[in-house]
Amino acid sequence: MKIITEKININELNQMADNMFGNLVKAVVDVHKDLIAVDAELHSDLEALLLDNGSKQKDLWGVNLYPKMQENAFIEFDSIINIRPSQGNRARGVDSEQLRNKIIEIVKKQVVR
């Protein structure tokens, strides 16, 4: 597990995917601090890592990254940590288009393709 503090190369994500799930890397994005934690078996482990490093629960959203896929297929909004009725998100995805766009922006800024 690691928090990306500098840009990460797509090849490094590919290696993480190969080592864990074969085609995907689990990630949690802090939409307030513009941080991404990657490379764990569970989104909740990445969530805990970010919380331990000062992130706030309300700012953390789980995604799956598919390094071998392009554009829209690269990011999948699907994680149990995203189920937050108190924030108006009742599904494993991210219901808010504005929030999805913010997550995409952060990922594109941090991942070098």
pLDDT for res 22 = 93
> pTM of the predicted model, to two decimals?
0.96
pLDDT for res 8 = 96
CA 67 to centroid of chain Cα atoms: 12
Q: What is the pLDDT of residues 37-51, one digit of tens each?
A: 999 999 999 999 999
pLDDT at 5 > cutoff 90: no
- If pLDDT is split at 50, 70 and 90, which confidence band does 72 have? confident
- Structure tokens belonging to residue 54: 């000062």
Percent of the chain with pLDDT over 90: 95
